Amino acid sequence: MEKKWKGKDWFSISAPDWLGSIKIGETPATDSKSVPGRVLEVAVSDLTNDQSKYYMRLGLKMDKPVGKSVLTKFHSFFCLNEYVMRMARKGLGKVPVFEDVETKDGWKLQVSVVAVLNRHGNSEIKRSVRDFASKLIKSKAKELSHQEFVKAAMAGVFQMKIKKGASKIYPVRFCEITKIETLKSGE
């Protein structure tokens, strides 16, 4: 086991500036050129010190090694499936929404949202809720940078707006952004 680690250096991994540039881990590598492109999964609760966000995770892609430290950039955001499935029970209507959006700073993101209705709604109700959530996500993405968009999703801003607005169509019990994936970065 010792030979496997021989000749490897440890690189310190830092979160992006907009997340506080805190140290989030370390990675071994034989060469600094092999580090960029690796993705590190981090709990949002560790970054924000808010334990209520235990089910949210961020994927941060390692970018530029600077000495023995590595900077990261946003790659993905997702919620644990167990958390979402616990909210969607038998007898409730589940409305999934998948939307490709472009942020103000040119990032293309794929956003997945799940709204859980109080009861099984008919297809007309589900389509109306889906359209409302889709329009809200698209309009907010145009107004915000990718950093602001992800921060708002982590804070639950969109989830509350979708729940409140869609409840005028049909009572919504629960709403969550389940996934945000980077399709194209703005750099």
Residue found by looking up tokens 């600077």 in the block: 66
Residue 26: what residue type?
Answer: E
For the chain, give the longest Cα–Cα distance: 64
Cα separations in angstroms, 109 against 6, 43, 45, 146: 40, 20, 23, 8
Q: Which domains does the chain have, with CATH numbers?
A: 2-79 (no CATH), 81-184 (3.30.479.30)
Residue 27: what residue type?
Answer: T
DSSP state for residue 118 in the 8-state scheme: S
Q: How many of the other CB atoms lie within 10 Å of CB of 182?
A: 19
Give the pTM. 0.86
Q: What is the pLDDT of residues 13-25, one digit of tens each?
A: 988 888 888 888 8
Q: What is the pLDDT of residues 101-155, one digit of tens each?
A: 999 999 999 999 999 998 887 889 999 999 999 999 999 999 999 999 999 999 9
